[in-house]
Amino acid sequence: MGQFGIGQAVTRFEDPRLLRGEGRFLNDVNLLGQAHAVLVRSPHAHARIRSIATSAATRAPGVLAVFTGADLARDGLGTMRMTLKRKRPDGSPMWAPPHRGLTQDRVRYVGDPVALVIAETPAEAKDAAELVQVDYEPLPSVTATAEAVGGAPVWDECPDNISNVFETGDRAATDAAFARAHRVIRRRYVITRVHAQYMEPRGALGVYDPGEDRYTLYADVQYPHRVRNALASNIFQIPEHKIRVIAGDVGGGFGTKGWQYPEHRLVLWAARKLRRPVKWACERHEAILADEHARDNVSEAELALDAEGRFLALRVRTLANVGAYVSSDRNLLATFTNVVTLVGVYAIPAAHVQVTCVLTNTNPTAPYRGAGRPEATYVIERLIDDAARELGADPVGLRRTNVIPSSAMPYRTPLGVTYDCGEFARSMDAAVKLADVAGFAARYQAARARGRLRGLAVVNAIERAAGPQPEFAEIRFHPSGSATLLMGTKNQGQGHETTFKQILHERLGLDPAEVRYIDGDTDRVAFGIGTMGSRSTVIGGTALWLAADKVIAKGRKIAARLLEAAEADVAFADGRFAVVGTDRAVTLRDVARAAFQPAQLPPGLEPGLYETGTFSPPDDTYPNGCHVCEVEVDPDTGAVALVGYAVVDDVGTVINPVTLKGQIHGGVAQGVGQALMEQVVYDRESGQVLTASFMDYAMPRADTLCDMVIESNPVPTKLNPLGAKGAGEAGTVGALPAVINAVLSALAPLGVREFDMPATSERVWRAIQTVRAAT
Ligand code: MCN
C-alpha cells in the first residue's frame, strides 16, 4: 500500500543517521567514571597453568584490579548450560564443557582468557596486562579437524576428542539404495574455518547500580533478551529483572555476535566489585583470538545414481570442529539443525547423515551466516558437478532430471523436514537465462583466445530459515496519536527499521516519519528472541502484523463510537475507519487520540491503545534460489576473477526489493570471501593462529566482486500471513558452492579433479602445476 508499503523499493530510513556518523555503536557509549578492561589471553594452544602472579600488574600505574579465574570461582559465578542431549559413540553422554569466563588450571586455545586487568585508561590496562606473569607448562595440541580424533586430548575427560555424534536419515534404506546403484560418486570436501570480521569488533560495557542492586550491560549482541536471561539464570543466578541489556547500533553480527561471551559477565562482575562502569573494547588484532569462529568441517560424501542419472541416495559423514569449549546448544547449531538441507532441492529417495563433533585446541565455533546451510549446499552441489563430470553429463541437465517438481509440494525429504513450497526448476531456468548460460561457450572460447580459463557453475540453494520460536512486537500509541514501534528482534545492519515500518504502513497506514523505532533494550521491549537464522522479517514481521490486527480491532470499537455507527458497519483500510458505503470516516490517528479520552470511548472499553503481538510459526520456511557464477582463471598466476554472478531468489513475498538485494548481495560477498580467500589458519605444530591480522587474513574488497544481477521468483509461503521466507543468509548459502564449482569448471579441462577452498591464486596455481607435472 502506498509508497512505503510492502513490496516498495523504499530507501532505508536509518541511513541518514548512520551516514552522518550519528549512529550509536558500542564505542560511542562512554559513561562517567568508566574504567577499562583488558584480558590476558593464552599465548599457547594448550598448556597447564602452574601459577599466575598478579602483584606486579596490580601495582602498575592506574590499575584498579587484576582478577583471575580463582576470584571468579570464589564469587560463585555459574556457566552457560546446554539443553541438547547427545551422546558419544560409546553411548556415554556428550562431552560439552562450557567456558567459565577465566580459565584457572589449563588453557585450551590461543586466546583463552586467563586474567582480567582493569585500569583507569585502556593504555594503562594494556601495559599492566603485560606484567601478569603466568607460568605455563605447554602441552601437545591439536587444531586440524581431520586430526582431532586420536590427536592430543583437549580434555582428559574425553580422550578421543569426540564431543558427540549426531545422525539423521534412514541408514538401512540408504545402504540398500547404494547396493543397487548404477554409479556411486565419492568425494571428500573440506570447508575452511573463518572469522566474522565485523566493521566494529565486539565490546561490552558493564554497569552496576548498588541502590537498585541491578546490572546494565551495553553490548553489541544479536539477542539482547536471551543474553539477559542467560546472564541472570545461568551466570549470576538472579531474576531477569535484575539485569538490563542494551544493544545499540551493531556494526555487523553475522551470527557470531549472537550469544553470551565471557566478556559480558566479566565486565558486569567487575563493575559490581569496583562500583564503577567497566568497558572492554576488543581490538582488531585481538578479535580473532577472542571471538567464536565458524564453519570448519570435513565431509566424506557419496551420491548413488541409477543408469538414467536419477539420484537414488546420499550418504554423508562429517567431522565438525567445535573448538575447545561448547558453551551452549547454539555452538552445535551448524552441526545439527541444518544438516537436513543436505539433499538440496532434489528428489533423493534415501539419505543418511552422520556428524561427529570433535574438540580441538581452537576457538569455539558458532553459527555464521547460513550456519550449516552453506556447508550442506556445498556438499550436494559439488557432488552433482563432480557426478556430471564423471558421467560426462551436462550439470544443468543432471539437476533438471532430479529437481523436486513444484507439483510435489509440500515435499517431505528423507531427512525428515517438509519443504512447503517453491518452484526450483523455474528459478533455475530463469537464472540460466539471466546469466546467459547459452552464450557461455562463446565466452569460453574468447577467454581461451586471451590465454584465460573460463568456468561456469549453476547451483541450486535451499535453506531452512525462521523456525518455530516466538518473536514479539508492540505498537504503542501516545495521547497525541503518534506511535512507537518496539521489536524483540535486533537490527545489525539488515534495515529492520525500514522493513518493519513498511509492514506497519501496509497494515495501519502510519506515516513512517511519525513512528519511532526501538529495538535492543530489554527494559523497553517486553520480550524478544532476537535476530539470527533469517527470522526477523518472517517472525517479527508477523508478530507486528498480529499487533496491528489488535489495534484495528480495538480501534474499530472506538471509531464506531466516534462515527455513531454500529461496529459491524465500520471497515478499516488505508489508515482510516469508514462507515461502509458512506464517506464518513476517521483516521487511525483520531482514534488513537480518542483512546486516551475516556469520555470518547464506548462504555466498558479500557482506555489507551498499545497492542502487542507474539508469534511463533508452525514450521520453518525454505527460502531457495539459483546462483550462476562465472570466473576467469589466469593459468600462469592462478588468479581467479569473478566475471559474472546472477541470482534468482525465492524468499516468498518481498517486503523491500532494495534491502533484499542488499542482503543477497552482502550474503554472496560473504560466501565469495570464504570461497576465494578468507581462512583462519593454525600452525599444525604449535597451534598458533597464523592469520591474526588483515596482513594474513584476506578479506574480499569491492574489486573482488563483479556486478551481480539479482531477480526474484517469489513463491509466497502459507506459514505466515506475510507470505515471506527468510532472506538474510540466502546469498551465502548459494555462493560457497557456486564459486568453487565455477573455479573447478575452469580447471577441469586441464585435468584438475579435486580442489578445496579457498581458491587463492597460490592454491589454484599449485593445482594447475600438479596436473601439468602428472601429464
Ligand atoms: N527481506 C525482504 N523480504 C523478505 C525477507 C527479507 O525484503 N521476504 C529483507 C528485509 O529488508 C529484511 C532483510 O531482508 O530486513 C533481512 O531479513 P531476514 O531474512 O528476516 O533476516 P534477519 O533480519 O533475521 O537477519 C538475520 C540474517 C543473518 S542470520 C545474518 S548472519 C546476517 C544477515 O541477516 N547478518 C548480517 N544479514 C546481515 N546484514 C548485515 N548488514 N549485517 C549482518 O550482521
Q: Give alpha helix (H) positions in 403-537.
A: 424-434, 440-449, 496-508
How large is the angle between the packed helices 730-747 and 657-676, nearest 10 degrees? 40
| CA-nearest residue, atom 37 of ligand 1 | 728
For residue 528, what are the CA distances in angstroms to 44, 518, 763? 39, 12, 45
Index of the ligand 1 atom closest to the CA of residue 498 = 11
Q: How close is the Cα of 562 to the center of ligand 1, in Å? A: 41
**pLDDT (0 to 100) of residue 338:** 78
**pLDDT (0 to 100) of residue 334:** 80
**CB atoms < 10 A from the CB of 345, how many?**
27
Q: How close is the Cα of 728 to the center of ligand 1, in Å? A: 3
**pLDDT (0 to 100) of residue 81:** 86
C-alpha torsion 433→438→439→440, nearest 10: 100
Ligand 1 site, CB within 6 A = 252-255, 369, 492-496, 499, 531-538, 651-656, 659-660, 663, 666, 724-729
Identify which of 619, 623, 645, 631 has the alpha carbon closest to the alpha carbon of residue 712: 623
Identify which of 77, 115, 84, 106 has the alpha carbon closest to the alpha carbon of residue 260: 77
**pLDDT (0 to 100) of residue 176:** 98
Please give the model's pTM, rounded to 2 decimal places. Answer: 0.97
Q: Say which DSSP state 85 is in.
A: -
Pocket probe for ligand 1: among 373, 472, 494, 649, the residue whose CB has the most ligand atoms within 8 Å is 494
**pLDDT (0 to 100) of residue 333:** 85
**pLDDT (0 to 100) of residue 190:** 98
**Where does 157-248 show beta strands of DSSP type E?**
162-169, 183-194, 203-209, 214-219, 243-246
Cα 74 to its chain centre, rounded Å, is 35
Identify which of 728, 739, 1, 753 has the alpha carbon closest to the alpha carbon of residue 368: 728
Index of the ligand 1 atom closest to the CA of residue 368 = 31
Index of the ligand 1 atom closest to the CA of residue 538 = 20
For the chain, residues with pLDDT lower than 50 are none
Alpha-carbon span 98 to 83, nearest angstrom: 12
**pLDDT (0 to 100) of residue 775:** 78
| CA-nearest residue, atom 39 of ligand 1 | 494
**pLDDT (0 to 100) of residue 1:** 61
Q: Say which DSSP state 196 is in.
A: -
Alpha-carbon span 505 to 260, nearest angstrom: 35
Alpha-carbon span 504 to 551, nearest angstrom: 11
Index of the ligand 1 atom closest to the CA of residue 493 = 41
- Report DSSP letters for 325-341, one per residue: ---SGGGGGGGTGGGGG
Residue pair 500/544 in contact by the 8 Å Cβ criterion: yes
Q: How close is the Cα of 298 to the center of ligand 1, in Å? A: 28
**Where does 337-390 show beta strands of DSSP type E?**
350-359
| CA-nearest residue, atom 9 of ligand 1 | 660
Alpha-carbon span 340 to 336, nearest angstrom: 8
